[in-house]
Amino acid sequence: MDDVQPITHGSGSISIPTLSTSREPSLKALAEHGIGCVIVFEYLFFQSQVKDEGTARKDLQQDLTVIVRKYQESGVQDIVNTCITEAFQQHGESVDDLCPVLVGIAQANQMSKKFLK
């Protein structure tokens, strides 16, 4: 989607696109975006620990943009959204039932485990 959410951090801000593919605002769209953000930021954290030719990464927005693109183009987003759709079909909108399932989806799709080796 084209929506971009600014996130203030320190003296600057970064932007992340909406990671939900659902067209209508809903609990499912919120879950898609939230789990996508968790996965993307987890990968960003671990990638920021990696050194590039002896120097630390400095451009957070550039790294975030690359990681979001990788999340979207690698198939991880499709897998995550399919799992979320299945969770909603199985549990409805029961937050008590969905929460542990959504955490499991985030854990099972950690990009750092797939791409940082």
- Provide CB contacts within 8 A for 21, sequence distance 6+: 1, 32, 77, 81
Provide the pLDDT for residue 117: 65
pLDDT at residue 54, as a whole number = 46
Domain range enclosing 64? 4-115
Number of domains present in the structure of the chain: 1
| d(C-alpha 21, C-alpha 43), whole Å | 20
Residues of the chain with pLDDT > 70, as a percent, come to 82
CA distance 97 to 104: 12
pLDDT value, residue 14: 76
Record the pTM.
Answer: 0.81
Tens of pLDDT, residues 38-67: 999 999 988 887 755 444 456 888 889 999
Answer whether 14's CB lies under 8 Å from 63's CB: no
